Chain A
Amino acid sequence: MSQFDIQRPVVELPDQDPDPVFSDDELVWTEEEKEQIEQYKAKYPEPDAAIMSVLWMAQEKFGFLPPEVIQLCADTLDMPFSKAYGVATFYTQYYKEEQGKFVLDVCTCFTCQFTGGYDILHYLEEQLDIHAGETTDDGMFTLQEVECLGCCGSAPMMQVTNGPYVHNLTKGKVDELLENLKKGELPRFTSVTLPQDEDEMGGNRRSDAETTDTYKTQPRSKTIK
């Protein structure tokens, strides 16, 4: 793109040919994992379709997907490295580089933009002393700004390491979350009660919900009008 008044940082691509992080001894599947992979393959008419599941499994095992791990996944399914690499790099949830122990994905999109998503992001930047996109020095937290997570009614919200959602964020709730995460406690599944259920059933309908929350009047953003 030619010169323009507004300069946005160029997104750096991951190193194309880094030194391997994992040794050949580490790059093996257990028997259980092999069995699981067979089950994935059986779900589709062609084995290539299992690549997304296998990449997910690899990410859970290794934490992230450096080229040698992608190579392992490709070999597992007998597909070319380039194809597996293409898939791994297409989707944002696959980590191509090492992340903090917890990845905080704060939504700043659309509804969250106007209801304090950026306030939460900036508060986290202050608390963790990093910018969005960076990892704390102790390797505990990676902070990211993400697009709509499909939870706009309980904005502002975030997701922790591709797992649980945290709704109706406030500074207090962020403090509590950070405390718990430092102790290694992930937030539990929260069921947000439908307003009509509140009126007609007096509360949440799921007896197996570990915690519940409600749709609330959303906060006013301090930074974005």
Chain B
Amino acid sequence: MEATNGSPTSKAGDWRSYERVLLPPVRDLHKLEVYKDEGGYESLRKVLNTKNIEPGDVTNAVKESGLRGRGGAGFSTGMKWSFMPEPDDRPRYLACNADESEPGTFKDRQLMEYNPHLMFEGILIAGYAMSIDACYVYVRGEYADWIKHMEKELEKLYEQNLVGDNILGTDFSMDIVIHKGAGAYICGEETSLLNSLEGKRGYPRYKPPFPAQVGAWSQPTTINNVETLACVPLVIEKGADWFANTGAEKHPGPVLYGISGHVNRPGVYEYPTGMLISDLIEEVCGGMRDGKKFKALVPGGSSTPPLRADQCDGVTMDAESLREAGSMMGTAGMLVLDEDTDMVSYLRRVTHFYSHESCGQCTPCREGTGWLENIVTRIDEGEGQMRDLDLLLDLCDQMEGRTICAFADAAAWPVQYTLKRFRDEFEAKCKASVHPVSSKTSSGIESAAPAT
């Protein structure tokens, strides 16, 4: 690393001269003709036509590239692919997760709008690597316009033998189907997605068995996010080394930052991972709106714990740095909030979201999310008591890790961390306790007894 004169370094290197690869500046790139003119589907051709590139080699390249899932959990993509059992006579499926419903996240939509073929090509290469028979692209129902546009392009792919039987004259065959959702955040959770795909209510499933063993229609299945799959052709075209050397070492590659909130210039930006939060706000987004002070950042969608401005000093946008700072990369859908923001009000709306979207299978989640909302609402309306703060934390403990899927954890984290990091704002809204608070009862189960 270069000398920094004490100023923090960006792991994104010389990002000012970065050239975009997920959304390269090409007019009408979303059309197949243009995409092909730009060298599109050459990576697929290379993988299919080169004699000594076996499916396992593709998986290995993706492993070496260090690509980590862009859907929220940040799991190694190559590793995930290698969980698929050896091919046998059972059908095998891939699901492309385009449900994008995590509040604050809008980057997959832009990818589907401006470069859908990169996603389709990634799907086909992933399909070759895992010997997939069909890929279902699960798009949230609200994206009706984008679904229409993509269906047109998909039709062209079938006509040109880039999808379907014997692709490009090889013995590799694969179908792609676009499946339209109908409005349910939970269907972004991978096993809920599978149930929804099968024509059931979108209830998440118990794991294990994992989808690689028992997935869609009980067959081996892998689920990947849109942006994750769009990275795959880049790994083939530019090489695993190039990918691994772009951005943050342990969380490499290009990434789409969807930045919204109190900045001068919000939007979806493509840069390498590992960008300094301060660079993204000050330089990329032109600073804070109306010259206000930066107060808090939600780095990757509503489930990721908010960070206070002082906790963002020198922090870069990658899993490691954000974990050290006390949050997560999530979807890189960053909400920037200024000094005027009321964090109690923020949390009230977030808890409302989770209570609205809980699928209702697990009691701790179904009831817990409702209570979280009730209690935060009570505090926000000035009716809360100091001990409600403990009650909230206790409730989070009762929810976390006790449910079928990670939704309940995702609902508990923002509560725990907003409360911890902005506690003074919550206390200021609470009524003074009628009982003297002793150190014995100011935390823990006793003080959490419901007010009568």
Contact = CB atoms under 8 A, between A and B. Distances in A.
Interface of A: 1, 4-6, 8, 43-46, 48-53, 55-56, 77, 79, 83, 86-87, 90-94, 108-111, 113-115, 147-155, 159, 162-165, 189, 191-192, 194-197, 200-201, 205-208, 215-218, 220, 224-225
A115 B353 CA distance: 17
Interface string B101-114: 11111101110011
A92 B100 CA distance: 15
B106 A150 contact: yes
A84 to B, nearest CB: 9
A1 B373 CA distance: 13
Contacts of A196: 20, 23, 25, 269-270
Contact of A147 (B20, B101, B270): B101
A110 B350 contact: yes
Given A46-B198, A93-B183, A152-B258, 6 more contacts: A45-B217, A114-B262, A151-B106, A152-B104, A195-B267, A197-B23
Interface in B51-81: none
Contacts of B428: none
Contact of A162 (B142, B185, B196, B269): B142
20 contacts: A4-B374, A52-B181, A53-B180, A77-B199, A79-B199, A83-B199, A90-B359, A94-B183, A110-B353, A111-B335, A147-B185, A164-B145, A194-B23, A195-B265, A195-B267, A200-B25, A201-B25, A205-B28, A217-B265, A220-B289
Contact of A217 (B26, B197, B264): B264
A38 to B, nearest CB: 15
Interface residues of B, number: 81
Contacts of B398: none
Interface stretch (B1-9, B41-49, B247-255, B341-349): B341-349
Contacts, number: 207
Interface stretch (B162-170, B207-215, B317-325, B375-383): B375-383
| Residue among B197, B267, B374 with most chain A CB within 10 A | B267
B260 A152 contact: yes
B261 interface: yes
Chain A binding surface, main DSSP class:
loop
B349 A48 contact: no
Interface of B: 20, 23, 25-30, 91, 100-106, 108-110, 113-114, 140-145, 177, 179-185, 196-202, 217, 258-270, 289-290, 302, 333, 335, 337, 340-342, 345-346, 349-350, 353, 356-357, 359, 367, 370-371, 374, 377-378, 381, 383
Contacts of B289: 217-218, 220
A23 B325 CA distance: 62
Contact of A87 (B199, B333, B342, B377): B199
B349 A194 contact: no
B103 A109 contact: yes
A225 B425 CA distance: 13
A83 B200 contact: yes
A6 B381 CA distance: 9
A152 B200 contact: no
Nearest to A43: B177
Given A6-B378, A115-B261, A163-B145, A92 B184 contact: yes
Nearest to A107: B103
Contacts of A51: 199
